[in-house]
Chains A and B, each alone.
Chain A
Amino acid sequence: MSETTTTAPASTTPRPPSRISRTFHILGLLRESPVGMFGAALILFWVAMAILAPLLPLYDPLEPLAPFQPMGAAAPDGGTFWLGTDHKGRDILSRVIWGSQRVLIWATLSTVVAYLVGMLMGSMAGYLGGWWDEIISFLSNVLLSFPVMILFVIIITLLGASGLNIVIAVTFASAPGIMRIVRGLILDLRTRDYVFAAQTRGESAWYIMLVELLPNARGPLIVDACLRLGYTVVAIATLGFLGLGLPPPEPDWGLMIKEAVPLGSFAGHAMVVPAVALSSLILGFNMLADGLREISLRD
């Protein structure tokens, strides 16, 4: 923040500052957005659950123990079903926690792949322009004209339901949007003087895209990535709910709801728990994105 320039003796050789202070600086900024902090806390909670799942004292998420137990019921082995059991008698707490691991892994993987594709296409369309731009933009428009869920349904119908196919479907659905954002940012950034300076140094197009342009687009892209992770979680869960997602019996939030809804009248908790879990994770992503955006607008 400080712009004061203490005139250090010119002859001494300074040392580079540590990176840690910079990271702390950003975290410190987030502290000023209660919304962002709350979002970050929700995400951290689920990430911690996902990582710690194998270590926690949980029942086997696949093992039928006692069906339709309410919340807090005693388990046959003397333990407690804190969140009850589902129609097959599996522990809901365990399934929700293992489910978080599954959804987070696939959502992150899909978003990363979609981002790689989208950033590549966006940079090329934005920086190279001309025919590259025409073709890439047209292809994106074609894909964007499909309502997202219809695109998912078609791709999964054609390819079948599997983790890899979800990654492919998410990439097809998200990459055009990412491409548009990146393209817009690049079009704005490419008129800056430092890009001009790099061009007059005779730098290659790839150097300019990767070193001069993309690092400066990171602010809006981080916000967008956060939102998009949320969307992808929704998409994966929705596919699970429609029976088009990751195959059973592994615990999946969407599938859990699908299975519990017909029995909702006498085992409501079996559908409410995963719905709340899912909503809280997405809320986390949306709130973190809001907080980050607020902070980035302030400086």
Chain B
Amino acid sequence: MSDQTPVLECKGLSISYYTRAGEIPAVVDFDLTVYPGETIGLVGESGCGKSTVAMAIMQHLGTNGGITGGEILFKGRDMTKMSDDELRKLRGSEIAMIYQEPFASLNPSMRCGEQLMEVPLFHEDITEKEARERARQILIDVKLPDPDRVMNAYPHQLSGGQQQRVVIAMGLLSNPSLLLLDEPTTALDVTVEAGIVKLIADISEKFNTAQIYISHNLGLILETCDRVFVMYSGEVVEEGTIDSLFTWPRHPYTHGLFGCIPLPTADKNAAPLRPIKGQLPLPHERPSGCYFHPRCNHAVAGRCDQQHVPMAHVTGSAEDHRVRCVRWQEIDHTAEAPGGEAKPAIEPGEKVLEVDRMKKYYEVHDRSLKAILSGQTTKYVKANESLNFTAHRGETVAIVGESGCGKSTFAKVLMGLETGTDGAIKVGDVDLSELGVRDRSAEQISALQMVFQNPFDTLNPSHSVGSQIARVIRRFTDENDEDKIRERVFELLDIVKLPRDFYYRRPRQLSGGQKQRVGIARAFAGNPAMVIADEPVSALDVSVAAAVTELLTDIQRENKTTLLFISHDLSVVRYLSDSIVVMYLGWIMERGTTDQIFNPPYNPYTEALLSAVPIADPEVEKREIVLEGNLPSVMNPPKGCPFSTRCPRRIGEICDNEPPPEQEAAPGHVITCHIPLEELREVEPVIHVPSPEERQSTSGAPRPSPDPAAAS
């Protein structure tokens, strides 16, 4: 590979932003070489500079950004010295980019076809008719089923997955040598993401396009890339081939990242996550020496905090595995415990929640002409279709599903912001499904509290952190003494490991992780028996998410709280929960203990979902199931089984026309499907996790094994 001329070379690239506070170096001394057909992964947490690199390669840094040093060579020509016109000729034809939010990236008032045709029309000498044909062909190539409809559609008429396929098609239209992908699947649902990832992986084969894939998700990088660059605070700290870097991560930061991800080998009791201490330094407050040393467990004063550390080749491992650490040869990652210290498990107590055939239908008024003429102006949206499950004291129950599956509606009914249509939600002996929150007693309200998803929304920006926690104490306890309330808030801040002077801080002065901690303190302030956590860590960076996850489980363990964990991420769910409820379009497709869900028999939807979740462990084997089609709209669900339109195991018309029955595969393990259980039992496991003896990687899994680098 290395005898070819590289498509792109970045040499000593430094990029700064100029703000009111002065010059902020976003990326420093960045080296990168991309060969034709190769896929490079850039991975790192938010603020590490990975997107800045992409925009610098496109030479589109905006008015306040600029390249302060180094060069970007595209096929040997320095892009930093090109004229606007030369750049324009490269953009879109030689280098194309795919963005994080497909909807925002497409012009809302132009038809997709026209937006596609523009690319060849302005880069090649070609007639409108040829351009149209090319655009149509490329839509077929990106597997859009109805290219003519898409050509004539406005972006808002397509689903998120289709929009992203259009953007990818636009990028590929003039057959570029280099494709930049900036978090192309972050905004999509897991099963849709799997399809896009497959498409991206096929591109390099089919078009021989070199790609730079930017992501925060190590699992996705593993599935798509050949080589990977790990970035931290504006610089690359480690680079190498996927195999080499994922199997023997050398930099303490890379290693730490793997410790933060809930890999299949992690376990909340036996092998909990190991969060990285501290937080990412701001660009203008980077420490001297190694930028990571204040957070590193292996840092040695006098060596790590002195000079800027250069990249060093990792001898004995794969070619071009490089690491920016002065102590890489001394640190033996195999000696570390695979997970954090083991923690005691909680014994589940008595039943605290029983959801019994709970239904929630919304009435929707359709005011289109068609509806009025046919007299069907009132439709029912079946947000929750007959939910059944239980939760015990101290137990963690996860509700898993993609958007529109009804998990948030259920939370609303449980919290009393909506009332159920039918059935019951029993907490203790009381049916709460028909009690709105204002009709509940203070005890009933305080027993159920919630932790929210979005850290930027969870706290009221107008009030100090302390006053928001204090309000909960005042409402749910008889305490009136201001000093005692303040003391209690201080204690809660201690519990969530925040300094006490945060009492007086405004939410805008806090980072995302800190806000989530305050959110947790607020939820636990009234000593709730049950906490509903709605994707509490999905908006956080990996290392922060790990710390918040651990905090949540620690408090839960301490208080024997029941945790209802709502999530779309099966990795976290597997790590955290004792039992799982899998939902799709308002239905429970499958429920059971975590082991039962992750092993056959599966509901076909669970099977697809398991396959779709990327796992950042090269030794885990996964069966590939890519779903066709889109998530149906909740407004217009399939008549029979909700999954029948996409199900790879569909057995016939019965799936389309009749609601599937609940089948009990084992005590507590219920699968909602028409397929007989015997057949489902014969399905192979989706994920194969190697036993510790079979393993060689040091990335997260428990096992010491001969390490070529350490040996040399």
Interface residues, chain A, with chain B CB atoms under 8 Å away? 1-8, 10-17, 32, 192-194, 196-197, 199-204, 211-212, 215-216, 218
CB of B500 within 8 A of CB of A14, answer yes
Which A residue's beta carbon lies closest to that of B494? A10
Smallest CB–CB gap between A17 and chain B, Å? Answer: 6
Is B490's CB within 8 Å of the partner chain A?
Answer: yes
CB of A13 within 8 A of CB of B437, answer no
**Contact of B458 (CB < 8 Å), options: A11, A193, A202:** A193
Which B residue's beta carbon lies closest to that of A3? B511
CB of B500 within 8 A of CB of A197, answer no
**Contact of B437 (CB < 8 Å), options: A17, A202, A212, A215:** A202
Complex: how many Å from CA A94 to CA B77? 73
Q: Which residues of A contact B454 (CB under 8 A)?
A: 193
CB of B457 within 8 A of CB of A8, answer no
Smallest CB–CB gap between B494 and chain A, Å? Answer: 5
Smallest CB–CB gap between B647 and chain A, Å? Answer: 34
Is B406's CB within 8 Å of the partner chain A?
Answer: no
CB of A197 within 8 A of CB of B522, answer yes
CB of A216 within 8 A of CB of B490, answer no
Which B residue's beta carbon lies closest to that of A218? B462
CB of B445 within 8 A of CB of A6, answer no
CB of B460 within 8 A of CB of A194, answer yes
Asked whether A193 and B453 contact (CB < 8 A) given A5-B514, A32-B20, A200-B417, the answer is yes
State which residues 266-282 of B face A: CB under 8 Å.
Answer: 279, 282
Q: Which residues of B contact A32 (CB under 8 A)?
A: 20
7 A/B residue pairs, CB under 8 Å, sorted by A:
A5-B510, A193-B452, A199-B437, A201-B471, A201-B476, A202-B440, A202-B475
Which B residue's beta carbon lies closest to that of A6? B499
Complex: how many Å from CA A202 to CA B440? 8
Given contacts A5-B510, A199-B415, A200-B445, 19 further A-B contacts (CB under 8 A): A2-B282, A3-B509, A3-B510, A4-B285, A5-B498, A10-B493, A13-B490, A14-B501, A194-B457, A194-B468, A197-B522, A200-B416, A200-B448, A202-B438, A202-B445, A202-B475, A204-B438, A215-B463, A218-B462
CB of B504 within 8 A of CB of A14, answer yes
Smallest CB–CB gap between A128 and chain B, Å? Answer: 13
Number of residue pairs spanning A and B whose beta carbons lie under 8 angstroms apart: 91
Is B16's CB within 8 Å of the partner chain A?
Answer: no
CB of A200 within 8 A of CB of B285, answer no
Smallest CB–CB gap between A34 and chain B, Å? Answer: 14
Q: Which residues of B contact A1 (CB under 8 A)?
A: 21
Smallest CB–CB gap between B539 and chain A, Å? Answer: 11
Is B709's CB within 8 Å of the partner chain A?
Answer: no
Which A residue's beta carbon lies closest to that of B280? A3
Which A residue's beta carbon lies closest to that of B506? A22
Q: Which residues of B contact A7 (CB under 8 A)?
A: 499
Asked whether A201 and B500 contact (CB < 8 A) given A3-B509, A5-B511, A32-B20, the answer is no
Smallest CB–CB gap between A141 and chain B, Å? Answer: 19
CB of A215 within 8 A of CB of B462, answer yes
CB of A197 within 8 A of CB of B462, answer no
Smallest CB–CB gap between A20 and chain B, Å? Answer: 14
Q: Which residues of B contact A212 (CB under 8 A)?
A: 460
CB of A201 within 8 A of CB of B445, answer yes
Complex: how many Å from CA A218 to CA B502? 24
CB of A196 within 8 A of CB of B499, answer no
CB of A197 within 8 A of CB of B458, answer yes
Which A residue's beta carbon lies closest to that of B21? A1
Q: Which residues of A contact B448 (CB under 8 A)?
A: 200
Smallest CB–CB gap between B523 and chain A, Å? Answer: 8
- 6 A-B pairs closest in CB distance: A14-B501, A215-B462, A193-B452, A193-B457, A8-B499, A194-B460
Complex: how many Å from CA A193 to CA B411? 13
CB of B279 within 8 A of CB of A5, answer yes
Smallest CB–CB gap between B111 and chain A, Å? Answer: 30
CB of A200 within 8 A of CB of B450, answer yes
Is B52's CB within 8 Å of the partner chain A?
Answer: no
Which B residue's beta carbon lies closest to that of A298? B20
Which residue, B21, B457, B509, has most C-beta atoms of chain A within 10 A?
B457
Is B310's CB within 8 Å of the partner chain A?
Answer: no
Is B442's CB within 8 Å of the partner chain A?
Answer: yes
Complex: how many Å from CA A199 to CA B411? 13
Which A residue's beta carbon lies closest to that of B498? A5
Is B449's CB within 8 Å of the partner chain A?
Answer: yes
Which B residue's beta carbon lies closest to that of A29? B20
CB of A2 within 8 A of CB of B445, answer no
Complex: how many Å from CA A16 to CA B506? 12
Complex: how many Å from CA A175 to CA B472? 35
Q: Mark B175-209, 1 if CB is under 8 A from A, else 0.
A: 00000000000000000000000000000000000
Complex: how many Å from CA A15 to CA B501? 7
Smallest CB–CB gap between A296 and chain B, Å? Answer: 13
Complex: how many Å from CA A204 to CA B459? 18
Complex: how many Å from CA A34 to CA B499? 39
CB of B459 within 8 A of CB of A194, answer yes
Complex: how many Å from CA A80 to CA B509? 57
Is B503's CB within 8 Å of the partner chain A?
Answer: yes
Is B461's CB within 8 Å of the partner chain A?
Answer: yes
Smallest CB–CB gap between B602 and chain A, Å? Answer: 33
Which A residue's beta carbon lies closest to that of B490? A13
Which A residue's beta carbon lies closest to that of B19? A298
Q: Which residues of A contact B20 (CB under 8 A)?
A: 32
CB of A12 within 8 A of CB of B500, answer yes
**Contact of B503 (CB < 8 Å), options: A14, A192, A196, A197:** A14
Complex: how many Å from CA A194 to CA B448? 16
Complex: how many Å from CA A197 to CA B471? 11
Q: Which residues of B contact A2 (CB under 8 A)?
A: 282, 509
CB of B452 within 8 A of CB of A196, answer yes
State which residues 458-486 of B face A: CB under 8 Å.
Answer: 458-463, 468, 471-472, 475-476
Which A residue's beta carbon lies closest to that of B467? A211
Complex: how many Å from CA A11 to CA B501? 10
CB of A17 within 8 A of CB of B504, answer yes
Q: Which residues of B contact A8 (CB under 8 A)?
A: 499-501
State which residues 14-53 of B face A: CB under 8 Å.
Answer: 20-21
Which residue, A2, A192, A197, A212, has most C-beta atoms of chain B within 10 A?
A197
Q: Which residues of A contact B500 (CB under 8 A)?
A: 8, 10-14
Complex: how many Å from CA A32 to CA B471? 37
Q: Which residues of A contact B503 (CB under 8 A)?
A: 14, 16
CB of A192 within 8 A of CB of B499, answer no
Q: Which residues of B contact A13 (CB under 8 A)?
A: 490, 500
Smallest CB–CB gap between A194 and chain B, Å? Answer: 4
Which A residue's beta carbon lies closest to that of B497? A10
Complex: how many Å from CA A152 to CA B494? 60
CB of B461 within 8 A of CB of A216, answer yes
Which residue, A11, A16, A196, A200, has most C-beta atoms of chain B within 10 A?
A200
Asked whether A197 and B452 contact (CB < 8 A) given A4-B282, A4-B285, A202-B475, the answer is yes
CB of A5 within 8 A of CB of B452, answer no
Which A residue's beta carbon lies closest to that of B285? A4
Which B residue's beta carbon lies closest to that of A32? B20
Which A residue's beta carbon lies closest to that of B440? A202
Q: Which residues of B contact A11 (CB under 8 A)?
A: 500
CB of B462 within 8 A of CB of A216, answer yes
CB of B442 within 8 A of CB of A202, answer yes
Which A residue's beta carbon lies closest to that of B502? A5
CB of A201 within 8 A of CB of B511, answer no
Q: Which residues of A contact B452 (CB under 8 A)?
A: 193, 196-197
Asked whether A10 and B499 contact (CB < 8 A) given A2-B509, A5-B279, A200-B437, the answer is yes
Smallest CB–CB gap between A133 and chain B, Å? Answer: 15
State which residues 424-463 of B face A: CB under 8 Å.
Answer: 437-438, 440, 442, 445, 448-450, 452-454, 457-463
**Contact of B417 (CB < 8 Å), options: A14, A15, A17, A199:** A199
Complex: how many Å from CA A218 to CA B460? 13
Which B residue's beta carbon lies closest to that of A14? B501
